[in-house]
Amino acid sequence: MWRVLAARGFGGLTLRAVAGEMGATTGLVTHYFPSKRALVRHALEVLDRRSAGRPRPAEERVGQASGLVRLRAVLLDVLPLDGPGAANNRIWVGSWDVALADPELAAEHAARYRRARERMAGYVAEAQR
């Protein structure tokens, strides 16, 4: 699924494309994802988990630093500065269109971005102090 997303975006994320990438039948994929919507929802959840769990090199370099040093590190870690980061960024940007087209997915996406803004607001407030 991830390779399909990186290569084709959400528009190209189909049950058939995922099956082809896996060398499996479409029937096997539909056993786990009965619809494209279910596949897209799963992709968004995986994207969120991967983003939350990915290594944060700039943050690791600053250790227990706080304030402006910490904020700068967090902002640097958001930037797509390497191949995997650029692929993740393309997928995130592509997810906006998909989420806007479906009210339930839009609500879930809004919640993800609200949590990210709340985290960032904490870093900004700390840097201002």
Mean pLDDT of 64-81: 83
Mean pLDDT of 23-37: 93
Is pLDDT above 90 for 29?
yes
What pLDDT is stored for residue 15 in this prediction?
Answer: 93
Tell me which CATH homologous superfamily contains domain 2-128: Tetracycline Repressor, domain 2 (1.10.357.10)
Q: Tell me the whole-structure pTM to 2 decimals.
A: 0.70
Is pLDDT above 70 for 23?
yes
Over its C-alpha atoms, the chain yields an Rg (Å, rounded) of 17
Domain extents for the chain? Answer: 2-128
Q: Which residues contact 85 (CB under 8 A, 6 or more apart)?
A: 79
Is pLDDT above 80 for 21?
yes
Is pLDDT above 70 for 58?
no
